[in-house]
Every structure is written in C-alpha cells, then in structure tokens.
A and B are shown apart, each in its own frame.
Chain A
C-alpha cells in the first residue's frame, strides 16, 4: 500500500507522522512490483508456476518490473497486451502475455545473504511511456549464494501468473 492510502480520511493532515507510524511500522510505504510474463518457457509445465530462471535478469540486465502503486491493473494488462501485439506484428509469434506475478518491495529489499549483506535493490527506473517502471538488481556474491537468493526471490513472488 502506498503512503497516500494510509493518509486518506479526515483529520489526517495534522497527524501525518503518527498516522504513518501506526500504519507503517516498518517505515516504508512501498507497494508490490509486478513482473509481466511473456514466455511459456518460464512456466513449469506441470505446476503452472514460474521458475527460478524467470527471475534471472536480476543478476545482469535488471529484472524489469512495474510498481503497482504507480499504475492500475487495466494499465498493466494494456501494457502486456500491447507488447504482445507489437511483437506479433514483428513476427515474434511465440510470444504470449501470460499475466503478472507480484512481489512485495519491502520483503525483496530485506532479503540478505548469509552474513547479513543485502541481496537485492529495487530502483525506480521510470520510462517516458512507463512511469511505473522499476528494476530489481542483485548485489554480487558467490554464484551459489546468488542462485539461492534468486530462488528465495521467486518464493516471494506469487507463483502462478494471473491476468491483471
């Protein structure tokens, strides 16, 4: 939930900090982020759940996500369907908009490696045509530690894509 939601209602203006402290004890107001899924290869054919590999972009190019607090379900669906249509027009007909999986920003930021070092950062990387755009990036560590962290990242997200 965004901070704005916590401050809605009469009488909030003069007690903003108290209202936030009460409703946001973790001192954060960040919403979930949504990853749009376009390839069936990222889905386990038996369980229909997303694989660990679906989150692998965090270690190099950045996992492109949308901040749910800065967009709407309708806009997310339109974004996914437009990309699919654009790709089909380019002949990329293996592409399907399968829906989104969402994960909580705060919990993502709180994941740590053994020893306590932060594992992931979530950066606001708004684009001209996607103001809700953000990137989840992985802090470097050993290959196995990074791999385990990506599995934990997968576990933080919803496992099955859903249509927004």
Chain B
C-alpha cells in the first residue's frame, strides 16, 4: 500500500472516528488515546487491507473493529507500556505486550467488547468478554505493567 493511500484512508477513518492525526495529549474525548501515531496508523490501516492479504484468504478489519481497538485506549493508563498490534486472517485486531516472562494479548472483533489473556509464567488469567466502555480490569493492568521493568 502506498503511504499516501494509507494516510488518506487513515484520515477518512479518523474523520469518522473524530480522532485527530496528531495526539493532542488533552483529555476527555476519543482524541485522548494514549498511543503514538505509528500504532494508530497501523491499526487504521488494518481496515484498508486487500482481500487475501495474508495469502490464505485474509480479511480486512471492519470499521467497528478499528473503533473498538482505538476506543480501548480511552481507559488506558499513560504510565503503562505501549502495546504492539497484530491482525488475524478473520480481521480481528489484536494488541499484545510481551516481556519478563509475561504475555498479555487482547482481541477486538467489533462487538464493542474484547477478550484478553494476561499470563505470567506462574499464573494465568483472562476474561472472555469485557466491554470497551469499562475501565481496564485490574488483572490486565497488573500484568501489562509486569511485562517491563519498573523505571
């Protein structure tokens, strides 16, 4: 995908989402997502993938899925490490954090809810369905924090 096409598409999606191109750092709106532009662009680009993007019939993410993934950051504490993103062949967007023997991964399917696992080497946790509108579960916050060494 050409960068200009990607940027244009990202702008259109952001327009729908009312998310600015640059994170303002202000509070109280969807524009306050605590992620950098690179991650935001990557997530938005997932909705612009061509059919069969992975060589196995992969689908693009739906707009609802992109919105869910971006909305997740409305409740995301700024002190936590930033995630990486991934996409499945079914168009499900994932975020993940990995380090210190911990693995945290979240799936967004556009339903307004997400599924997550938050595992340490010694214990496993997770939930099948958490509403995007709810604050992050404590387990999720704790294990995300454990993926990096404390500053």
User: CB < 8 Å: which of A38, A51, A61, A83 contacts B86?
Assistant: A51
- Pick the interface stretch among B13-21, B24-32, B63-71, B115-123: B115-123
Q: A52-B94, A53-B94, A143-B107 are in contact. Are A92 and B50 (CB under 8 A)?
A: yes
Considering only residues 84-100 of chain B, those with a C-beta below 8 Å from chain A are: 84, 86-90, 92, 94, 96
- In chain A, what residue has the closest Cβ to B129? A143
Cβ of B84 and Cβ of A94 under 8 Å apart?
no
Answer whether A56 and B88 are a contact pair too, CB < 8 Å, given A38-B55, A94-B53, A143-B107: yes
Q: Is A151 an interface residue when CB atoms closer than 8 A count as contact?
A: yes
Contact yes or no, A41 B126, CB < 8 A? no
Interface size class of A (residues with CB under 8 A): 20 to 34
In the assembled complex, the CB of B26 is this many whole angstroms from the nearest CB of chain A, namely 29
Q: In the complex, which residue of chain A has the Cβ closest to the Cβ of B109? A: A143
Is there contact, CB below 8 Å, between A151 and B105?
yes
Q: How many A-B residue pairs have CB under 8 A?
A: 78
Q: A51 to B96, Cβ gap below 8 A?
A: yes
Task: Give the number of residues in B that approach A within 8 Å (Cβ atoms).
Answer: 31
Tell me if A147 is interfacial: C-beta within 8 Å of chain B: yes
Q: Is B56 an interface residue (CB 8 A)?
A: yes
A110 at the interface (CB under 8 A from B): no
Q: Is the CB of A56 within 8 A of B55?
A: no
Determine whether the beta carbon of A83 is less than 8 Å from that of B94: no
B55 touches A83 (CB 8 A): yes
A148 within 8 A of B: yes
A52-B105, A56-B92 given as contacts; is B86 within 8 A of A144 (CB)?
no
Residues of A within 8 A of B (CB): 36, 38-39, 41-42, 44-46, 51-54, 56-57, 60-61, 64, 83, 87, 92, 94-95, 142-144, 147-148, 151
